[in-house]
Structure 1
Amino acid sequence: MLIYPDERLAVFIDGANLYATARALEIEIDYKALRAHFAEQSRLVRTFYYTAILEDQEYSPLRPLIDWLDYNGFTLVTKPVKEFTDEHGRRKIKGNMDIEIAVDMLNIAENVDHIVLFSGDGDFRRLLEAVQRRGVRVTVVSSNSTQPSMIADELRRQADQFIDIVDLAPIIGRKGPRRQHHAHYDEREETTREFEDAED
């Protein structure tokens, strides 16, 4: 990954998208190592993490991770998920964070030289183009190693560079036994699938 030491860098993590990609690759993300890696490579300005949460649950399986990130140098952006019933009577959950990511990225673009986006969502192509026109380089981190691919072709083409999570796994993958505040991932599987279905 080409990051210059004097670059002001901002990292944007689409939580649900990164979760789905990492799960497909059977990688557990070590967020402490992730942040440390980019802080060592550049002048890290901000690390954003975006996710929608179920507020009506007595206990959210996502809460331990959110709390940990909040206390460890990440800027958390959350909002309640929206529940609705589709035409077949099935309960669906919608938790799209695209607008929040776009607004924050455009706002910070004037104060950074490089942005790293953890997402493979093709809807971000125009956002990347807008940021690049402001003179900011953009790296997209997702995966082309899954079936189907998690990275939209148009997003990969727009990015200044593309990094497959598989190549970053030795650096940002968790080693050893799973830690308690990350153990919620399996519980979140169904919610994440419903997010994806609702956003299609």
Structure 2
Amino acid sequence: MIDYTGKFKKATRGKTCIFIDAANLERSVQDMRVMKEDIDEKLKNKKGESLCWKVDYRKLKKFFEEQTKLKKITFYSAKFDNIGHDNFLAFLKKQGYELQTKSLKKYDDHTEEKPHRKANFDVEIATDSVSEMEKFQTIVLFSGDSDFKYLLNYLRSNGKITIVFSRSGHVAKELPAASNYYFDIANFRHEILKIETKKQKTPPKRDSAVDNR
């Protein structure tokens, strides 16, 4: 069995800063299959298809605290303006994450019924990492976005160790080549992820006018 934790620890040097592109990270794990051998005792009566992987942000921070000289961990996320998400952000702040949030921006390439909204943090992550580069020797980037190729090359040219965490099938081919090290999140699933029961999708409401025909 390959010791991925050991390989990661050997890859780091000095103080480490972590930058998390939240939307990209969450998308990268949502289609990971839960295998039978991954299921613990409390969920053993569940079938794999009824379970899913989720990021465990408490475990994630603890892992990097144990394996690196962690200087800072920053979480970049859209702000959804609902109680559930506000509570989640408050939880992260309590855990020691620094938060960078902004409202979703609406784009005109979708219909009113299916609007296209997103919040990109490419500029913020690039700006923050460059402005803070004197504070760290190693940067860990959670993203698979090809837009970070230039940033990684720049940091490497300035003597920084650059490490990318993403998923096979979700990472742009440019990033592993641009970074010093690339690690597949799937190989760290027991260290930074957790298994949960999938939430049941709420069926759309039926039109009463149609029902009465």
TM-score of the two chains, using structure 1 as the length reference = 0.79
Q: What count of residue pairs does the alignment treat as equivalent?
A: 174
User: Partner of 2:65 in structure 1?
Assistant: 39
Who wins on radius of gyration, i.e. which is larger? 2
| SS of match in other structure, 1:28 | strand
* Pair 1:166 & 2:186 matched: yes
Q: 1:77 aligns with which of 80, 100, 116?
A: 100
Change (3 A) 1:118 1:6: closer
After TM superposition, list the pairs within 5 Å mapping 1:72-151 onto structure 2: 72-86=95-109, 90-144=114-168, 149-151=169-171
Whether the aligned pair in 2 keeps the contact of 1:53 and 1:60 (CA below 8 Å) is no
**Structure 1: unaligned runs, 5 residues or longer:** 188-200
Note the 1:182-197 alignment, pairs <5 A: none
* Aligned partners of 1:110 and 1:134 also within 8 Å: no
Instruction: Output the aligned Cα RMSD.
Output: 2.3
Q: Which runs of 4+ in 1 moved over 4 A?
A: 87-90
Q: C-alpha displacement at 1:70, in angstroms? A: 0.9
Question: Higher mean Cα deviation, 166-175 or 70-79?
Answer: 166-175
Which of 11, 18, 21 is the aligned partner of 2:25?
18
Runs of 5+ unmatched residues, structure 2: 1-6, 33-51, 202-213
Helix, strand or coil for the counterpart of 2:158? coil
Contact 2:165–2:183 at 8 Å: present in 1 too?
A: yes
The normalised TM-score by structure 2 is: 0.74
The structural deviation recorded for 1:96 is: 0.6
Question: SS where residue 194 of structure 2 aligns?
Answer: coil
Determine if contact 1:140/1:162 at 8 Å carries over to the other structure.
yes
The one-letter code sitting in structure 2 at the alignment partner of 1:13 is I
Q: 1:2, CA displacement in angstroms? A: 3.0
1:6 Cα deviation after fit: 6.1
1:66 and 2:66 matched: no
Tell me, in whole angstroms, the C-alpha distance in 1 between the residues paired with 2:152 and 2:94.
29
SS of the counterpart of 1:152?
Answer: coil
Percent identity (aligned): 29
CA distance in 1, matches of 2:79, 2:142: 19
1:156 aligns with 2:163: no
Equivalents in 2 of 1:134, 1:96: separation in Å? 25
- The answer to whether the Cα contact below 8 Å between 1:48 and 1:75 also exists between their aligned partners in 2 is yes
Q: 1:186 to 1:73 in 2, by over 3 A?
A: farther
